[in-house]
Amino acid sequence: MMWRGVVLAMVMLLMPATLAAQSATVPLRQLLDDASQRNRLPDSLISYRARVETEISTLLRREEGTEMVAAIEQVASSMKWNRAGGYEQRIGGYRTQQLSVNMSMLSLLQSGWLNPVLYGNRLRIRPQAANARPSPRGRTRVGRGDGSDTLPAIHPLATDRERYYRFTGGDTVVTMRAGDRVIPIVQVRVQPRTDLTQDVVLFDGDIALDASRGTLVRMRGHFVRRNGPRRSVGATFGDAVAFVEYENAERMGTYWLPARQRIELQAMLPLIGDGRAVIRIVSRFYDLEVNDTALSAATLAAQDSLRLASRRRLSYAPDDSLASYSAWRASIGLLSTGMHADDFDDIGPDRWRTTGPPRFDFSAPRASDVIHFNRVEGLFTGGGVKWTLRDRAPGVVVRANAGYAWAEQTVRGRVQVTRKRGPWTLEARGGRSLDNTNDFRVPLDSGNSFGAFFASLDPYDYVSRTSATAAVVRTLGVRRAIMRAEVGVADDRYSASNYVRSPIGGDAYRPNRGVDAGGYVRSAMLIEWHPDAAAEFVAPGIGARLSYERGDGTLSWQRMEARVSGRRPVGPFTAVARADVGQVIGNRIPSQQLFELGRYQSLPGYEDKEFAGSRAAAVRAGLLYISPFLRSPIRVTPRFWLPALSPGLSVGVQSGWTDAPTPAARASIDRLAVTDPTLLASWAPVARPTERIRASVTAGVRFFGGGVFVGGTRPVDHAAPWKMLVSFGQAW
């Protein structure tokens, strides 16, 4: 997908913001003094080695919170560290699954990304984690005069910490279990001081301390640079932050060494939508061997200076070793289970926070509210504003966006007010929109401007809708389930196509299908289970959706839909499946409420929207086998990598069924055809019921972890030839 490239661009363009805070209380200061003494690098800790598995996920967080994982690269490595600064990380295994072909995120990781210890007065961090210094040519460069490939950051538990930080909290105790021991944990908020004058890298976030021993268990936050270069122009219009979450575990009853580490690069440009581009790097440490190396007396004597100049060396095993690696501890996608981009919102940039003074931003909910193209509207351009009341009215957000469809010469937009308190959200919205009527769509599918403009392919139908709605939403757990109920009024009207084909040429579009015009009172209920899990996403998991909708008025109907969708990796195989079923009833069913299936709607072996009905079902399933060959990432240049070619076999089956059992349903299908009154003699229906279960199969070869499919498809319910099929992304 093209947006995966945007993920990297957004993350690298913007730079993080900073905070200020309050002073520590006396009991908290005593706790910090004790923790600082215990955070000295133990004299007896000489070295260690560990095996590490890392998942690098590229994803998009939508404005409503849904995460779409487009790629996962899993890396197995070994790491060696010693107290004199020795660091070596060697990659011995690699595999990937993707929805599209793009650069490998290893392009961002030119040196080791693991933080070996959290002991000491200074932390060593990757340069990307702090604001950069402008070079004479205008590019960004972080200065390091010690020969290291990392930057020094002041540790929150350093002996000179009071010069740089303010501390709050320390009065909340939770417990965690480590083997047979119950550990009391104290949470402390760490914020950089606001009166600093020197250029320094600091930590902004939370630290968790073992209250019984004063040891550091976890760090969660991000690094900021005080009194460094001015913020980039891009940072004026958006935000990007490199969040970190480092968790330690007790080893040998003495040392606190890494257990899990998370680095999360998040970027958002509000002018083009509230979605965030996210690169999530999660590492888990296994099989630690402590003090496996002996250091000479001379090396130990020079350890401080050696540590300052050390480099985090990253190397790769030979290609045949990478390809044959099979000792994976975790299935692909498992290490990131339960994580979400919102985990860091409380310590994120001011624009993302729900507390503070009211804030006004120029911001659109989605990129499509700023610009899109289809055959009805032509080019649409617009913008939006957002007023977050925060402390003045907690949880209340007021939004408005508007734009102009140039070919249709129509203004569209909406106003929305939401109030979120805990798991409950209340909404009121109203506006005029051009809604997509396609059925059984993949998650996040709201149209394809790229295909409509550049390929003259617009397999959607549209209805012009004016509406006003009130809704209540309840979230269960950490996005385990979402329940939604809404009621409002709406009016549907037909809008004809304004383009015969793309402005740059290509095949002709088909006409926008018929719409029954009229007003109605609309009510609906929706239940989603695991909304972030879907067969179309790379992350493993199973999700389900159940919805009910009805209209009462000039247009009257009742519509029910259910969906189950999921993905599961098993060794070199990955199984994906999705099932949809729906029914609409009424004495005069609006044609825009019918179910339509065809080439781009679950049945690739047939024509676009060849079938329609008031009852429908679609089942899609696929099996992907990734071979052990060519599994090494492809190094194009010293700083640019492509994912491994990873060829594999793929088979899929797609079946669908529609039915029109009543005269009302059959008449509604007939009204899908837009009829010229002067050409009644040439009228013909544009769709029909399937009459039986229709099915097609796909078979072929996939490359780049599933991102590219080359093969064929054909119907199997009747004799038909194979058709060549080349696709990018999920193809069943």
Tell me: the pLDDT tens digits for 280-330? 999 999 999 999 888 877 777 677 666 766 788 999 998 888 888 889 999
Residues 526 and 615 in one domain: no
Q: Which residue has the tokens 């600091």?
A: 202
Residue 2 has what pLDDT?
A: 47
Residues 201 and 153 in one domain: yes
- Specify the pairing of strand 313-316 against strand 87-98: parallel
Residue 392 predicted with pLDDT over 90 = yes
Domain boundary among 494, 528, 555: 555
Tell me: the pLDDT tens digits for 118-147? 999 999 887 655 543 333 333 333 344 455
Residues 256 and 184 in one domain: yes
143/170: higher pLDDT: 170
The residue-averaged pLDDT of 35-52 equals 93
Residue 277 predicted with pLDDT over 60 = yes
> Which token pair is 141?
């460069």
Residue 136 has what pLDDT?
A: 35
> Which token pair is 286?
């296994």
Residues 46 and 139 in one domain: yes
Residue 229 has what pLDDT?
A: 67
Cα–Cα distance for residue pair 630/193, rounded to 1 Å: 51
367/173: higher pLDDT: 367
CB 529 within 8 A of CB 477: no
State the SS3 of 647-701: CEEEEEEEEEEEECCCHHHHHHHHCCCCCCHHHHHHCCCCCECCCCCEEEEEEEE
Residues 292 and 382 in one domain: no
Residue 562 within a domain: no
Residue 388 predicted with pLDDT over 90 = yes
CB 78 within 8 A of CB 51: yes
- Domain carrying residue 713: 594-732
Our CA angle for 409, 410, 414, nearest 5°, is 155
Specify burial of residue 318 (Cβ count, 10 A radius: 0-12, 13-18, 19+): exposed
Residue 20 has what pLDDT?
A: 33
What is 351-405 written as a DSSP string? GG-SSSS-EEEE--SSGGGTEEEETTTEEEEEEEEEEE-GGGSTTEEEEEEEEEE
Candidates 474, 355, 484; CA nearest to 423 is 474
Residues 348 and 371 in one domain: no
Q: What percent of the chain has pLDDT over 70?
A: 89
Domain boundary among 352, 370, 395: 352
Candidates 311, 251, 305, 313; CA nearest to 84 is 305
Residue 573 within a domain: no
Cα–Cα distance for residue pair 164/501, rounded to 1 Å: 62
Residue 225 predicted with pLDDT over 60 = yes
Residue 598 within a domain: yes
Q: Tell me the one-letter amino acid at 567.
A: R
Residue 395 predicted with pLDDT over 50 = yes
CB 16 within 8 A of CB 224: yes
Residue 360 predicted with pLDDT over 90 = yes
Is 177 strand, coil or helix?
A: strand
Residue 21 has what pLDDT?
A: 35
> Which token pair is 175?
């417990």
Candidates 271, 272, 429, 424; CA nearest to 361 is 271
Residues 348 and 382 in one domain: no
Residue 286 has what pLDDT?
A: 95
Contacts of 418 (CB under 8 A, 6+ apart): 395, 396, 397, 399, 425, 426, 427, 428
Stretch among 363-372, 664-673, 715-724 having the lowest mean pLDDT: 715-724
Is 453 strand, coil or helix?
A: helix
Residue 287 within a domain: yes
Stretch among 16-20, 142-146, 489-493 having the lowest mean pLDDT: 16-20
Q: What percent of the chain has pLDDT over 90?
A: 57
> Which token pair is 31?
């706790």
28/526: higher pLDDT: 526
Residues 180 and 247 in one domain: yes
Residue 578 within a domain: no
Residue 265 predicted with pLDDT over 70 = yes
Residue 630 has what pLDDT?
A: 86
Task: Indicate the pLDDT class of residue 15, thresholds 50, 70 and 90.
Answer: very low
Cβ atoms within 10 A of the Cβ of 634, count? 14
- The gap between the terminal CA atoms of the chain, to the nearest Å, is 17
Tell me: the pLDDT tens digits for 529-542? 999 888 888 889 99
Residue 380 within a domain: yes
Residues 207 and 246 in one domain: yes
Tell me: the pLDDT tens digits for 676-707? 555 555 567 889 999 899 998 999 999 988 88
Residue 579 within a domain: no
Residue 645 predicted with pLDDT over 50 = yes
Question: DSSP code of 708?
Answer: E
- Specify the pairing of strand 694-703 against strand 200-210: unpaired
Residues 339 and 406 in one domain: no
Contacts of 473 (CB under 8 A, 6+ apart): 424, 425, 426, 427, 482, 483, 484
Specify burial of residue 175 (Cβ count, 10 A radius: 0-12, 13-18, 19+): exposed
Residue 575 within a domain: no
Specify burial of residue 518 (Cβ count, 10 A radius: 0-12, 13-18, 19+): middle
Residue 637 predicted with pLDDT over 70 = yes
Domain boundary among 352, 383, 418: 352
Q: Which residue stretches of 98-179 are H helix?
A: none
Residue 681 has what pLDDT?
A: 55
Cα–Cα distance for residue pair 627/607, rounded to 1 Å: 33
Residue 227 has what pLDDT?
A: 78
CB 491 within 8 A of CB 521: no
Residue 23 has what pLDDT?
A: 43
Residues 358 and 347 in one domain: no
Mean pLDDT of the chain: 87
The residue-averaged pLDDT of 159-175 equals 87
The residue-averaged pLDDT of 350-361 equals 90
Residue 381 has what pLDDT?
A: 96
Residues 347 and 376 in one domain: no
Strands (E), 193-275: 200-210, 215-226, 239-251, 255-268
* C-alpha pair distances (Å), 501 with each of 509, 610, 685, 686: 5, 20, 22, 19
Number of domains in the chain: 3
The residue-averaged pLDDT of 558-580 equals 93
Residue 1 has what pLDDT?
A: 46
Task: Indicate the pLDDT class of residue 454, thresholds 50, 70 and 90.
Answer: very high
Residue 165 predicted with pLDDT over 60 = yes
Residue 168 predicted with pLDDT over 80 = yes
712-717 contacts, C-beta under 8 A, 24 or more apart: 713/604, 713/605, 714/605, 715/605, 715/606, 716/605, 717/692, 717/693
Specify burial of residue 293 (Cβ count, 10 A radius: 0-12, 13-18, 19+): middle
The residue-averaged pLDDT of 201-206 equals 94
Residue 436 has what pLDDT?
A: 93
Cα–Cα distance for residue pair 563/254, rounded to 1 Å: 51
Residue 148 has what pLDDT?
A: 64
* C-alpha pair distances (Å), 124 with each of 15, 35, 256: 19, 19, 17
The residue-averaged pLDDT of 572-592 equals 95
Our CA angle for 680, 685, 691, nearest 5°, is 155
Cα–Cα distance for residue pair 11/103, rounded to 1 Å: 14
* C-alpha pair distances (Å), 691 with each of 30, 658, 672: 78, 7, 18
Task: Indicate the pLDDT class of residue 5, thresholds 50, 70 and 90.
Answer: low
* C-alpha pair distances (Å), 62 with each of 249, 275, 544: 34, 5, 18
Task: Indicate the pLDDT class of residue 274, thresholds 50, 70 and 90.
Answer: confident
